[in-house]
Amino acid sequence: MKTLKRFVLVGAPASGKGTQSSFLSETYSLKPLSTGALLRAEIAEESALGLEAKKYMDAAMFVPDEVVNGIVAKWLVENKDSGCLLDGYPRTLAQAETLDVNLNAMDLEVDIVVYLNVALELIQARMLKRKACNACGETTRNGETICPKCGEPMVVRSDDNPEAFAKRWKDYETLTVPIIEHYSKHGKVVQVNVNEEVEPQDVSARIAAAIRAYSEK
Ligand code: AMP
């Protein structure tokens, strides 16, 4: 039975990573870090990092690797004794390589990569309905105006429109999918396919079953 402490969650934009990140962190006692939610919170606070990140996010571009690598490296050191879950990071091969080096320097490694592989048609339909909370990062798809977690307003993300989405999807395919290949080579990827609209808890159950099978291998 493998001990799993360091999780990476990979999926396309609007694939349900936020929801499954909550499930994974609660079920496996992991501290989650969503780089996207963290950057949105910095933008809401109008911090220097937020103002820098906003330029890229408004243009549906990735924030530069060195900016994101720096944030995550600091967080990993602060949380080195906890189980942790990275959601939305690494997003490029260069980020994955930096992550591996930073973890190795602490005698740690990525233990498992959960790859949420959701059909494009489902993602497109979801993206148009989704809202996000800038305060706590919660994401909903049912038109809520107030965050069910913290009571702050829910807003449509500035990068959730068809043009921005097309760009983000292309970046996902060309820049992010290679990290799945990178971790597959090391036998660390569990892939969960979602080809039909199912309840989030059904996706969670599939993920849990895939993790169980992986940990027993
Ligand atoms: P997400 O909430 O994961 O969809 O991220 C929203 C946006 O934040 C992305 O489209 C990027 O502009 C930026 N972002 C989040 N994580 C990263 C990352 N690891 N590398 C570069 N940009 C990121």
Known active-site residue 130: yes
> Which residue among 5, 6, 17, 131 is the active-site one?
17
Domain that holds residue 11: 6-215
Using CA atoms, how far residue 148 sits from 21, 24, 70, 84, 128, in Å, is: 16, 19, 31, 24, 19
Mean pLDDT value of segment 96-121: 97
pLDDT 10s digits, 137-175: 888 888 789 999 999 999 988 777 888 888 889 999 999
Q: Hey, whose CA ends up nearest to atom 15 of ligand 1?
A: 36
Q: Is residue 14 part of a domain?
A: yes
User: Is the alpha carbon torsion for 143, 85, 54, 63 positive or negative?
Assistant: negative
Q: Is residue 39 part of a domain?
A: yes
Q: Is residue 1 part of a domain?
A: no
Known active-site residue 131: no
Backbone angles phi, psi at 195, to 5 degrees: -110, -5
123 lines ligand 1 (CB under 6 A): no
Structure confidence at residue 26 (pLDDT): 97
CATH of the domain at 17: 3.40.50.300
Q: For residue 124, what pLDDT band results from cuts at 50, 70 and 90?
A: confident
Q: Judge whether 67 and 50 are in contact, CB under 8 Å.
A: no
Q: Hey, whose CA ends up nearest to atom 7 of ligand 1?
A: 36
- What are the residues whose beta carbons fall under 8 Å from the beta carbon of 181, sequence distance 6 or more? none
**Partners of 154 in beta bridges:** 133
pLDDT 10s digits, 183-195: 999 999 999 999 9
Q: Hey, whose CA ends up nearest to atom 11 of ligand 1?
A: 62
pLDDT 10s digits, 46-68: 999 999 999 999 888 999 999 99
Number of domains into which the chain is organized: 1
Choice from 52, 62, 95, 123 to test ligand 1 binding pocket (greatest atom count within 8 A of CB): 62
Q: Judge whether 43 and 134 are in contact, CB under 8 Å.
A: yes
Q: Is residue 79 part of a domain?
A: yes
